[in-house]
Amino acid sequence: MTSRASSDGTAAWPPPVLDPAGPFAGPVNVLSWVLFIGGAAVLLVVLTCLILALFGPRRWRARLGGQRLVWIGGFAFPVVVLSALLVYGLGLTSHLTQEPEPGEMRIRVTGEMWWWRVAYLDAQGRETIQDANEVHIPVGRTVTLELESADVIHSFWVPRLSGKVDMIPGRRNLLRLQADAPGAYGGQCAEYCGGPHALMGLVVVAHDPAGFAAWRAQRSRPAPAAAATAPGAEVFARAGCGACHTVAGTAFNGQAGPDLSHVGARRTLGAGILPNNQGALAGWIADSQTLKPGNRMPAYPVLTGQELRDVSAWLGELQ
Ligand SMILES: [Cu+2]
């Protein structure tokens, strides 16, 4: 089994589902409990009726055997209860998927088999910062995600920060989220999308306002161009990694895989499945097919130990 990136305290795995950490996750939590408790109460009543109908006194058995019960318990009750729950649920959660208010921060997250493409948008909706598998937000502010898919249906789900919304090819779905406290919040693709679907995780990192401003300033600066002369960069070029990966400030501009311009700063590798360090980087590059079977990056058994050390050291420095 692959070890999830939880042991180093970056983001709890699996992400706790009934532990809201923001104003959009709160109503989902309330609705969940209403449904659990309501469902349990109905089950209890149904089982009681069943036991009475089978083993109860004759008078009860006669009553439970009549047509009246079918009309009331089998028709009127479900229609009333389910309609009420639908209206209640929609009222409680409709603001989660509203259009963003003017000035609200927007981030586009695109589901890919089996990772997440992330782009921060400016006020005009143009993509500014590019990233992958990690979403950075400021604490206490509402952020609207534009959820899209590049291939099949995925589902974006960071349970502590908001609800769960499908990412559908050719559509743009909205989901708002907000974190009350700084920290790393785990997420998971929640719609079966083939092969390594269960290994398609992500992390949302909430920064205090100053930390977020620093993060954004650092990401907005152009990358230093000299990075491309290191031995690791030569391995990267020789092995053809640039066909699929972009590294800002170099000629590598592939689009098929995650942007690696700041891969060294990520908390995880392989979309949430491994804690990020140089050993994990080297292990991933040598044989990601063992760590995440079926993913779309080939294994590189041809690389020597030295080449793996060089390329992983170089990538680790891309902060
Ligand atoms: Cu998916």
Angle, vertex CA 279, rays to CA 186 and CA 8, nearest 5: 35
Q: Ligand 1 centroid to 149 CA: how many Å?
A: 9
Q: Ligand 1 centroid to 14 CA: how many Å?
A: 16
Q: Ligand 1 centroid to 45 CA: how many Å?
A: 39
Q: Ligand 1 centroid to 294 CA: how many Å?
A: 13
pLDDT at 8: 42
Assign domain 225-316 to its CATH architecture.
Sandwich (2.60)
Q: Ligand 1 centroid to 61 CA: how many Å?
A: 50
Torsion of Cα atoms, 91 then 97 then 103 then 108, to 10° = 170
Q: Ligand 1 centroid to 263 CA: how many Å?
A: 21
Q: Ligand 1 centroid to 74 CA: how many Å?
A: 38
- Summarize pLDDT for 246-296 with one digit per residue, the tens: 999 899 999 999 999 999 999 999 999 999 999 999 999 999 999 999 999
d(CA 120, CA 165): 19
pLDDT at 225: 65
Q: What is the mean pLDDT of residues 149-173?
A: 97
**Residue 84: what residue type?**
A
Q: Ligand 1 centroid to 108 CA: how many Å?
A: 16
Residue pair 197/113 in contact (Cβ under 8 Å)? The answer is no
- Summarize pLDDT for 70-116 with one digit per residue, the tens: 899 889 999 999 999 999 999 999 999 999 888 899 999 999 999 99
Element (DSSP H or E) covering residue 305? helix 305-316
Q: Ligand 1 centroid to 107 CA: how many Å?
A: 18
- For β-strands 268-269 and 173-177, DSSP reports them as unpaired
Query: Is 2 a residue whose pLDDT tops 60?
Result: no
**Among 12-16, 69-73, 297-301, whose mean pLDDT is lowest?**
12-16
pLDDT at 63: 85
pLDDT at 148: 98
Q: Ligand 1 centroid to 196 CA: how many Å?
A: 8
Residue 245 is encoded by which pair of tokens?
């990966």
Q: Ligand 1 centroid to 82 CA: how many Å?
A: 30
pLDDT at 31: 95
pLDDT at 1: 35
- Summarize pLDDT for 26-63 with one digit per residue, the tens: 999 999 999 999 999 999 999 999 999 899 999 988 88
Q: Ligand 1 centroid to 274 CA: how many Å?
A: 17
Q: Ligand 1 centroid to 34 CA: how many Å?
A: 28
CA distances from 47 to 41, 50, 76 (A): 10, 5, 19
Residues linked to residue 164 through DSSP beta bridges, in sequence order: 157
- Summarize pLDDT for 196-242 with one digit per residue, the tens: 999 999 999 999 999 999 999 999 988 776 566 789 999 999 999 99
Residue pair 108/148 in contact (Cβ under 8 Å)? The answer is yes
For the chain, the domains span 25-97, 225-316
